[in-house]
Amino acid sequence: MAPPRFTECAFNGNVALVTLIFPDNQIMKKEDIDAMGRELVKLIDVGAHEMVVNFENIEYMSSAAIAKFIRIQRRISDRGGKLVLCQIPPQIYEVFEITRFHHLFKIVATQADALREF
């Protein structure tokens, strides 16, 4: 049996549109966060240096998941690319604010807004 996937990806031109898909709409378990990170790194390593990550299906997220997104952000930036986060529910945005990491990311309301960033 194949391992579970935590991302779905489509492309709009050169921009990877990643939607997060987690059991129970929560990004909490270390092994799931690591697996999501590996999926995103694979995309980056094959050339997806312009990326939108859509949080529309996520209700809860740990600070460990934010740390993973910081590493993804650095990896994309090191390759001259850009990461934009969108459709972040208020309760998750609050985690970004509490940790003061919201300043590290470009965060917009909708996927359409995110695409306009490229």
Q: Any idea which residue has 């995110």 for tokens? A: 114
What's the count of helices (H) and strands (E) in the chain, helices before strands? 4, 7
CB 72 within 8 A of CB 40: yes
Tell me the domains of the chain and their CATH numbers.
Answer: 7-115 (3.30.750.24)
Q: Is 62 helix (H, G, I), strand (E, B) or coil?
A: coil
pLDDT per residue over 31-73, tens digit each? 999 999 999 999 999 999 999 999 999 999 998 999 999 999 9
Reported as half-sphere exposure (CB side, CA atoms, 13 A), residue 58 has a value of 29
- Decide: pTM greater than 0.75: yes
